[in-house]
Amino acid sequence: MLLWPKDTDSTEDRYRFYLREKLNDNIWADGFNIDPELIRDYFYRFLYQPQDREYPDLCQLPDLNETTLLENLRARFNAGHIYTYVGSILIAVNPFKFHPIYNPKYVKLYQNRRIGPDLPPHIFAIADSAYQRMLRSKRNQCIVISGESGSGKTESTNFLLHHLTALSQKGSHGSGVEQTILSAGPVLEVSREMSELLNQ
């Protein structure tokens, strides 16, 4: 592995060359532990260039600026793809119509899958990621939904709750978690309406 750190000990502005010894597939001599699968995923996400120039992750854009970002979102929206990643963040463009991508088939498709290039961006992937992290770490998780009025925050919340409910039905906690998730819907709706009234 080649590293080019700046030589701060010298009065001259120069760089030094370092070579790290690889001990096996995962461990380097200076103690960094790197998962080869993670490296492959990064190469795929950041170096793979789709032929149709439509990028499911904005981090893949070769030239990231406001124009290319908006053009990519427009191209995806015109192709019927309302979701786009920015790393682990999801951008949703409200289509103002129902898309048939929220049925049990999609719940199962995104279940226990890592956010990444294997599957198209989807709100179920975000919900599933939070749910799996909660189970693994045994700590509370938070999903922030932000946007202008009419951008689809309420619908996005409903889809998140739908996916979390479906996941909780398969778990050992069963109806207790399901009931808690479902009871959050009205509270979220009231808080949304209150914030819109306060902003007027």
Distances (CA, A) of 69 to 43, 51, 61, 77, 176: 21, 17, 8, 12, 42
Distances (CA, A) of 132 to 32, 39, 75, 127, 168: 26, 22, 32, 9, 11
Cα angle at 126 between 123 and 131, to 5 degrees?
125
Q: Which residue has the higher pLDDT, 80 or 117?
A: 80
Tell me: is residue 80 an annotated ligand-binding position: no
pTM of the model: 0.65
Tens digit of each residue's pLDDT (9 = 90 or more) over 163-195: 888 887 765 544 555 566 666 666 666 666 666
Q: Say which residues have a Cβ less than 8 Å from residue 6's Cβ, sequence separation at least 6.
A: 13, 14, 15
Tell me: is residue 148 an annotated ligand-binding position: yes
Is the pLDDT at 112 greater than 70, yes or no? yes
Q: Which of 45, 11, 20 is nearest to 117 (CA)?
A: 45
Q: Which of 156, 148, 23 is nearest to 92 (CA)?
A: 156
Tell me: is residue 147 an annotated ligand-binding position: yes
Tell me: is residue 150 an annotated ligand-binding position: yes
Q: Which domains does the chain have, with CATH numbers?
A: 36-192 (3.40.850.10)
What is the per-residue pLDDT for 157? 87
